[in-house]
Chains A and B, each alone.
Chain A
C-alpha cells in the first residue's frame, strides 16, 4: 500500500510536461476581446485630466474604462490605500490609469496610446531612508483618513512600524565585551513565475466567472466583490493550471478590472501580461531593505544584545506588506539565543512597484544580512563561524525574541548535519570556500476545508478549496486520504481551484496548503471512514470496533477473510445513504509569548510550528572578475515530519536555486525617475539549469506535538528553502575574498568592487 511516507507521482505532472495542460492564456471563447492597460506615464504625478475620446473612437474598441467607470472603493488587506484605477494621482510606473477591450491586442494597445492624460509631475520618492525623513513628499497625503486594521502603526510615509523588545538592549550592549555594527542593503527582487498574469472574465446575467492565474482564488473573489460592489456569491473564480507563482500571484490582481471591461463590452475579455508588465505592475515583488545590525557579545561567544533598524521598501501601495516589519524584526534576530533585543522596523512608502509576499517575504534578505553579521562577529571573537552558531542556535527549551519557548525543534541538528554533508573542515583551493547560514520561518495556521465523496464505483473524489501553484501540495492530498481510508492515492480524483465547488482555503500562500488543507482532508477522510465502518459493520455483522480499512477492503482485525470491498460498500451506499465526508479541522493555537513591550503586533510575535534550516554552500570565486560559481550545496531542513519526500525535496531544490539567483544576480535597479531599469529577463538574470549546482538534501525529523502543527506533526515547507542560501553564499565569498559584499544581489561587479576597497 502506498503511504504518505513513500514517494508518489503527482496527477498533474503528465499534463504539464507533455503540453496537454491548459493555462489561463490558452482559454478562448466566442466573441472574446483582448484587454490592455494604460499604465502611468510617471512614477509620481498628479492627474489633471484623462480624455478617452480618441481611444473610444478607434475601430475595434469595445470598452474603455477609467476610475469613473467603477465604484469609488479603496481596498487593501491591512491598509485600504489603493483603487482599481488611479483617480487623482499616480504613484508608480505600473499603476493603472485606464483599461481597453478590443478585437485584437494590437488595437487595444493602440487605443491605450490614444488616451490623453494630463499630468503634473511630482518629486519622486526613490530612497527608502529619505522617505521616512521629516519633510519628505508624502505618497498619500490623506493617509490618516484611510481605513486600516487597528494594529497597524502608521505615520505618513511609514506605512507600518513594528518593534521587537526583549530585556534592555542598551544595557546589554554596554555590558558586552565586543560590539559589532554593520549595515546591509538588499535590492528589490521578483517572484518571476514563468506564466505571466492572465485573466479571462465572462458575465452571465449578474454573475461573473473569472478564470485567473491567481494563487489565491478565494481572496481574488473577495477582492472583485469589494471593488465592484457586488455580492461574493455573484463571483466565481476558477484557476486552470497555474504556471508558477512564488507569491507573485498572491492577493487580488486585475480580476476586477477585466471583469469590469467584460461587463462594459458585454463580451468575454482576456488579459495576458507581457514580461515587462509582469515586472512593473503587480503589487507583489520582494521588498528592498536596509538593515543596520549591532550585536554585543561576551568573550565566550554568548550574545548579550542585538539592536537593529530595518527599513523595508513598501512601494506605492501596501498590499499584504504591513505585517512584514514585524516579520523582518523577528528575522533580524534570527534563530539564536539573544538575551536583550531591540529591533525597530518600518515599511516606507516609495514610488516603486508595491511589495507583497514573495516566497518567505523579508526572510532571505534579512537572513543574508544577519548571517553575514554573525560571521563578522565570530571573526571579531576569533571563533569559527560554525562554532559560534553552535553555541548560540536555539534548542528545545530555549526562548525566542519574544520569549516563546521552543518545544520539539531540531535547529542545532540541521547545522551539524549540513556541516557534515558538505565536508566543512576539508582543505580547499584558495579561490574556494564553504559558507554556512541558518534560517527559520513560521508555519501559518489558517481555516481551510475539504470534502471527500466515495463514488458508486468505490473511487474517491477530494473536493478542496486549496490551490495548486506547482508545488505539488494539492497533488499530494490523496496520500493523506488514502492512508486513512485504506485506499490507494490513485483511487482519488481532485476537484480543486473553483470557488463555487470547494470550501474556503486561503490559497497557495504562506506554505499553508499541506499544513491546513492537509488537516482538512484528513478530517474529511476520517468522517468518511466512520461512515464506511458503519456500513461494513452491518454488512459483516461484526462489531464496528473490530474493523479496519486496509488494501481497499473493510475487514475484521485478525480474521482477514471476513471482509467486504470498499467498491461493494460504495455500491450499497448508492442505494441508500451516500458516503460524503466533510473536513474543517481546528486551527492550531499560536504559541504563548511575551510581546508586551512590542509595537505593531500583526501576528508575527510568535512563530507557529517554526521550521529551521541550515545551508552550507561550497563556492568558487573568480577573484579577477568577481564571478561566483556555486559548486555544491548541502541543504538540511527541520520541517517537523516529512510527508512526501519527492515533494519536499522538490521544494528544497527549487528554493535553493531561487536563493542562488537572489544571492548573485536577481535584483531590480531603479532609475532616478523611479522606474525599473531592467524589467526583462535578459538583464534580470534568473539562474538557468546550466548554472544549477548539485544539491544535497538532508532532513531532521522533529514532528510537532499533536495539534501544534500540520498533518502528523509536519510544518510548512514551500517558502523556507530559499531563506538561508544567499547568506551562506555571502559567507563563502567573504572567506575567499576577505571582503564583505554589503549589497544584494552580490553581482560580479559588486564582488569585484568590494575587493578593490
Chain B
C-alpha cells in the first residue's frame, strides 16, 4: 500500500480541485483498498476522500426514471422500490455485489468508474441507457455509461473528472429486466459470466430488447445480434435460444483461473437465455425473486441477499 497523502474533501469543489492536481478519488474503497492489499496495484500517491459529500448522496425517482448520486450504495439500490419495480436488473446486480459488507460500503460511482469487465451493475446500466454526469473544475458533461467503459479498468473520463451522478430514464411500459451471473458461491463472488436482458412486450410481441454480456469481453457491451433475434418476435423458445446463441457468438472470453474460454462461451448462451427468460417473465408481471441468480441456479437455502 502507499497513499502518501489523504484528504477528506469538504465540498465537491474541493474534491475537484484535488483531482486537477493529481489526486484520485476514494469513496467506499472496496476496489482500491482491497486491490492494494492484495498487491494488484498500489494505492495512488494522493487520495481525496469523497465519502462526506452530501451532494453526491441520495436517490430520487422522478418521471418514472431514477437519479442516483455517485455515493449511493448497493444496499440502497437494492432497497429502492423504484429500482426494484422499474429497473429490476439493476437490483439483481447490486444485490450480489461482493458481500453484505461490500454492499453497504461500495458505491455505484466506484463500481462504474472501476470499469471492471466483470462488474455487476454495468450491464443493467448500459441496457437502461443510463447517463453518467462527470464534473471537473472546468465544467460538467453527461455521457452514456456505455461510452464510459474503454478497456478493463479504464474509462473515457479524464483524470480531473469526478462522476457525480448516474441517472436512468423511464423505460417503456411493459418492460421487464433481469441480470444473471454464473456464480460458484453465494457471497464474496465475482461474475464468471454475466448477462443482462431488458425486454419490452407489446401484447405478445417483443417491441424492444436490450442484451448485454459481462465478463465475456474486455468491456461490458450490448449484443445487437441478440437483440435483433428477439425484437419483433413472439418471445418464444426458439427466439430466446437464437438470441442466447448470438450473445455467445459475440463473446470474446479469456481463459483464466475462474474458467476456460470454452466453458465461458458455452455458459454465455446458458446465462443469457436464463436472463432473457426471467426478464420476459417479469415483463408479463410474473414474480422472479431479486436477486434472480440464486433462484435460477437452483438455490434452496435462502439466496444471496
Contacts and interface: CB of A to CB of B under 8 A. Distances in A.
Interface of A: 106, 274-276, 431, 620, 622, 624-625, 627, 629, 631, 664-665, 669, 677-678, 680-683, 685, 687-694, 747-749, 752-753
B187 A625 contact: no
B39 interface: yes
A294 B169 CA distance: 65
Given A687-B185, A691-B186, 9 more contacts: A276-B39, A625-B267, A680-B38, A691-B185, A691-B301, A748-B182, A748-B184, A752-B263, A752-B266
B184 A747 contact: yes
Contacts of B270: 624-625
Contacts of A693: 301
B260 interface: yes
Contacts of B39: 274, 276
A752 B182 CA distance: 13
A116 B127 CA distance: 52
SS class, residues of chain A in contact with chain B:
loop
Nearest to B296: A622
Closest 3 pairs (CB-CB, A-B): A690-B186, A688-B187, A749-B263
Contact of A688 (B188, B271, B298): B188
B196 to A, nearest CB: 18
B190 interface: yes
Given A625-B267, A752-B263, A665 B297 contact: no
17 contacts: A106-B1, A620-B298, A622-B297, A629-B298, A629-B299, A669-B257, A677-B257, A678-B257, A685-B184, A687-B185, A688-B99, A690-B302, A747-B184, A748-B182, A749-B259, A749-B263, A753-B263
Interface in B284-305: 297-302, 304
Contacts, number: 78
Max chain B C-beta neighbours (<10 A), residue from A622, A690, A691, A749: A690
A721 B302 CA distance: 25
B184 A665 contact: yes
A746 B119 CA distance: 26
Nearest to B190: A682
Contacts of A752: 263, 266
Interface string B255-280: 00111100100110011000000000
Contacts of B267: 625
B104 interface: no
B119 to A, nearest CB: 14
A688 B186 contact: yes
Contacts of B271: 625
Interface in B171-192: 182-190, 192
B278 to A, nearest CB: 15
Contacts of B263: 749, 752-753
B300 A690 contact: no
Contacts of B1: 106
Max chain A C-beta neighbours (<10 A), residue from B1, B266, B299: B266
Contacts of B37: 274
Contacts of A689: 187
A114 B192 CA distance: 38
Given A622-B298, A624-B270, A627-B297, A682 B188 contact: yes
A675 to B, nearest CB: 12
A415 to B, nearest CB: 26
Nearest to B2: A106
Interface of B: 1-2, 37-39, 99, 182-190, 192, 257-260, 263, 266-267, 270-271, 297-302, 304
Contacts of B38: 275-276, 680, 682
A624 B297 CA distance: 10
A480 to B, nearest CB: 37
A690 B297 contact: no
Nearest to A756: B266
A747 B192 CA distance: 12
Contacts of A622: 297-298
B184 A627 contact: yes
A106 B182 CA distance: 38
B301 A690 contact: yes
B186 to A, nearest CB: 4
Max chain A C-beta neighbours (<10 A), residue from B37, B38, B184, B266: B184
A660 to B, nearest CB: 10
Nearest to A669: B257
Contacts of A620: 298, 300
A625 B302 contact: no
A275 B271 CA distance: 32
Nearest to A677: B257
Contacts of A683: 257-258
A509 B191 CA distance: 38
Nearest to A276: B39
Contacts of A106: 1-2
B302 A629 contact: no
A744 to B, nearest CB: 15
A629 B297 contact: yes
B18 to A, nearest CB: 23
Nearest to B99: A688
A690 B304 contact: yes
A753 B259 CA distance: 11
Contacts of B187: 688-691
A678 B300 CA distance: 29
Contacts of B188: 681-682, 685, 688
A29 B263 CA distance: 52
Contacts of B301: 629, 631, 690-694
Contact of A749 (B190, B260, B299): B260
Contacts of A625: 182, 267, 270-271, 297
A685 B190 CA distance: 11
B185 A688 contact: yes
A6 B243 CA distance: 61
A431 B298 contact: yes
B251 to A, nearest CB: 15
